[in-house]
Amino acid sequence: MTALPTRGHTPGHTVYDTRNEAGHHLLIWGDTIHVPSLQFASPEVSWELDSNQAQARTSRSALLKRLAGPGHFVAGAHLDWPGIGRVMSTDRGYTLQALPDTP
């Protein structure tokens, strides 16, 4: 597990990157995205909950670009059920493809 500083939301905001033997990554975040239906498509959107909006936008964009790469998954706060998925690149921004909900 590696801690990745993600400046901009609050001082000390961190994302955790776990990697398995096959080289697949699961990034676990807190408040990188507040409103998935808006910020995946428009990662430049920020608001007063980010202590430094410019840094938050830069951190969010860098994380989404990383997550859109092969072998990356994301889990964490504010994501729609089931709270884990793959980030997919679109023409304008990104979208979250939730992992199937299996028993």
The answer to whether residue 102 scores a pLDDT higher than 70 is no
CA distance 8 to 26: 21
Instruction: Give me the domains of the chain, ranges plus CATH numbers.
Output: 2-98 (3.60.15.10)
The answer to whether residue 103 scores a pLDDT higher than 60 is no
Q: What are phi and psi of 36, to 5 degrees?
A: -55, -40
pLDDT tens-place string over residues 36-75: 999 999 999 988 888 889 999 999 999 999 999 999 999 9
Cβ(55)–Cβ(7) below 8 Å: yes
pLDDT tens-place string over residues 6-22: 888 888 888 999 999 99
Pairing verdict, β 72-76 and 25-29: parallel
Query: pTM score, two decimals?
Result: 0.87
Buried b or exposed e, range 87-97, using 16+ CB within 10 angstroms: beeeeebbbbe
